Amino acid sequence: MKTTTISLLILLILSACDYSSDEIYFVEVDLSDLPELEISSSLDTMESVLITDSLLFEYEISIDTGKIFYTQIFFDESFIFASDSLANSVWINPDTSYNDGHYDIYMEVIYKSSTGSLADRINAEYLLKDTSWVVTLNRGDVLL
C-alpha cells in the first residue's frame, strides 16, 4: 500500500512538470524609446556658486514616465542625501574637515527603463542619469 501511494505521488508530480516554449515572454527592446529625463536645480542659473557657511540645494526632475526609483546627492564623493521624490531640497553644510577650495555636488538619478522587458516588469532593469555642479567653499577672508 505504501509503495503504491509513493508511486502514485511520483507519477502525479512528473505529469505536472510540463514545459512548453510557447509561453516564453519575449519583447524586442527599442532603445530609441527610452524615457526622457531632465534635471534642473537652484544652481543652474548661478554663474559661480560660493559656499561660506551652508547652501540650500533644490532640484526638480521631470521624466515623461514619472517613475524614478531614487536620487542620491554627494558632496565631494561623500553621500549626503537620498530621496525618491521628483522634487526636493537639502541643506549642504560641509563640515570643518573640508578646506577652502572647489568641490563637486554630484547627483545621480536611478529610474525605471520602461522597455517592457521581463526585467523591467519586475523592476530589475533601470537607467542612471547623473550631473554635477562645481561649487567653491570659502570660509576665510580670501576668495580662491
pTM higher than 0.85 for the full model? Answer: no
**Is 24 inside a domain boundary?**
no
Residue with cell 568641490: 103
Q: How many CA atoms lie within 13 A of 102 on its CB side?
A: 5
Is 71 a member of any domain?
yes
Domain with residue 117: its CATH number is 2.60.40.10
pLDDT tens figures, 20-74: 666 666 667 777 788 899 999 999 988 889 998 899 999 999 999 878 999 999 9
> Is 94 domain-assigned?
yes
Residue 7 lies in a domain: no
Residue 13 lies in a domain: no
Residue type, 108: E
Domain contains 10: no
The x, y and z cell numbers of residue 50, run together, are: 560660493
The boundaries of the domain holding residue 119 are 34-137
Q: What is the CA radius of gyration of the chain?
A: 26
Long-range contacts made by residues 2-6, C-beta under 8 angstroms, separation at least 24?
none
> Per the structure, how many domains does the chain have?
1
